[in-house]
Amino acid sequence: MSVPLAWKNLTHNKRRLAVAVAGVGFAVFLMFIEMGFKHALIDSTVEVVNVMHGDLIVVSGARYALPSRQRMPRQRLLQARSHPEVLGAYPIYIENVFAVIKKINENGYPIRVLAVDLNDPVFEQTVLGQYREALTAPSTGIIDVKSKRKYGLTGNDPDELLRYPVELSNRRLQLVGAFQLGTDFAIDGNVLMSSINYAKYFPYAAEGADPLSQVDLGVIHLHEHTEDDHDRDAEEGLAMRVRDELNATLPGDVEVFTREEFMQRERDFWNHATPVGYIFTVGMIMGFIVGMIICYQIIYSDIEDHMSELATLKAMGYGGRYFVRFVIREALYLSILGFLPGLLVSWGVFALLAGWTGLLLRMTVARSVFVFILTLTMCIASGCLAIRKVVSMDPAELF
């Protein structure tokens, strides 16, 4: 019966084990936090598209990202409707520069205003919900409950929201309900209203023309076909074909994307075209390096403390492969023991920060597995560096 020497060696000193687990757990926490904020940046930015119903997205060819203000003529959506596969093309209006919301006699803060025709099937039912009829009234809107706390308007209770005297861009606004969307690194909060109300609050949106004549996003719905060919591959193939045909026929001032393509375009912009994505990537790398240093110190110190015992084993005939396997097992145990508390602490911090900031900090299985692989690699690589002294030592030098 073989003795689990690596496990015994790691756990015989409980205090040292606790310090080792805390060190690895700290590195795991650093990697989770950096990765969490990086994905929150991307996920939160595209969430507004994620909650839309639609097969294709139309935008101005000059619009390089959602927060930018390049708009397109609404006429482009009317032209898109002429395609035989298009069931409908619906406009979405966005104002995030001149929209300032505040309670009466308090400071105002910029907020993003989203507006749609309430009869258009653009947003999921969970967004407009039971407030569709209430939003037909003049000067009404609903507030995103995940908006930053600085607004003081994040109550879920509609009766409570009705009591808030609010101004939007120096005009009275009556909040009639709430929805959930979330913030991102450019947007601190959201208000949703009808396009008719939007035109009253932002009459200058089209520079002297009808404010609804210029559109920020267009959502295109395609006709459904028979169930035999209405599967995912067929849907994607149809969407890509219609996308290509619309890009070929519509004027060059607009671009048409599939919904997934548009979301990936936004992710690529924030991940590669801005320094923010690189900052969080570097942060993850630094967390990995810090973890390697911690693991190396833990394993190296353990080897130093047991050098005579290891030398005895080598004098008894145990070869280099045995010691490599011994250290790899110890590193494996250390990575698992350190990963679990790091995962739990990160999960709790994610939940806390998500509620506080409104960002979509998500702890997914894929991301957890990725960090565990990094942790395992970190510990094993550190162990292999630390074991070199044992592999190359001459037992006679210690006796």
Three-state secondary structure call for residue 123: strand
CB 152 within 8 A of CB 163: no
pLDDT for residue 310 is more than 70: no
pLDDT for residue 228 is more than 70: no
The rounded distance, in Å, linking the Cα atoms of 92 and 375 is: 44
pLDDT for residue 250 is more than 60: yes
Q: What is the DSSP letter of 351?
A: H
The rounded distance, in Å, linking the Cα atoms of 239 and 262 is: 13
**Nearest to residue 96, comparing CAs of 217, 177, 10?**
217
The rounded distance, in Å, linking the Cα atoms of 183 and 128 is: 18
For the record, the structure tokens of 268 come out as 């690529």
Total Cβ atoms within 10 A of residue 238: 18
pLDDT for residue 306 is more than 80: no
For the record, the structure tokens of 297 come out as 């110190």
pLDDT for residue 243 is more than 80: yes
Spatial CB neighbours of 26, under 8 Å, sequence gap ≥ 6: 290, 291, 294, 342
Three-state secondary structure call for residue 113: strand
**Mean pLDDT on 78-95:** 93
pLDDT for residue 194 is more than 80: yes
**Mean pLDDT on 226-237:** 64
pLDDT for residue 145 is more than 90: no
Furthest-apart CA atoms within the chain: distance in Å: 93
The confidence score (pLDDT) of residue 399 equals 53
- The pLDDT tens digits for 329-338 are 888 888 899 9
> Mean pLDDT for the chain?
84
**Mean pLDDT on 74-78:** 94
**Mean pLDDT on 224-242:** 71
Higher-confidence residue: 10 or 363?
363
Higher-confidence residue: 275 or 141?
141
Total Cβ atoms within 10 A of residue 268: 12
Residue 255: CA count within 13 A, CB half-sphere:
13
- The pLDDT tens digits for 101-135 are 988 878 889 999 999 999 899 987 777 878 888 89
pLDDT for residue 390 is more than 70: no
φ/ψ of residue 140, rounded to 5:
-125, 155
Q: What percent of the chain has pLDDT above 90?
A: 32
**Mean pLDDT on 267-282:** 82
pLDDT for residue 187 is more than 80: yes
The confidence score (pLDDT) of residue 392 equals 65
User: pLDDT tier at 20 (50, 70, 90 boundaries)?
Assistant: confident
The confidence score (pLDDT) of residue 329 equals 83
**Mean pLDDT on 73-90:** 93
Give the torsion sign (CA, 103, 94, 47, 162). positive
φ/ψ of residue 104, rounded to 5:
-60, 135
User: pLDDT tier at 298 (50, 70, 90 boundaries)?
Assistant: confident
Q: Strand (E) positions, the chain? A: 56-60, 72-73, 86-95, 100-103, 109-110, 112-116, 140-144, 166-168, 171-179, 190-194, 214-215, 217-222, 254-258
Q: In the chain, what are the domain boundaries?
A: 5-44+274-398, 51-258
Give the torsion sign (CA, 258, 247, 93, 90). negative
CB 298 within 8 A of CB 20: yes
The confidence score (pLDDT) of residue 1 equals 41
Three-state secondary structure call for residue 32: helix
CB 346 within 8 A of CB 34: no
pLDDT for residue 226 is more than 60: no
Higher-confidence residue: 355 or 86?
86
For the record, the structure tokens of 239 come out as 């969407």
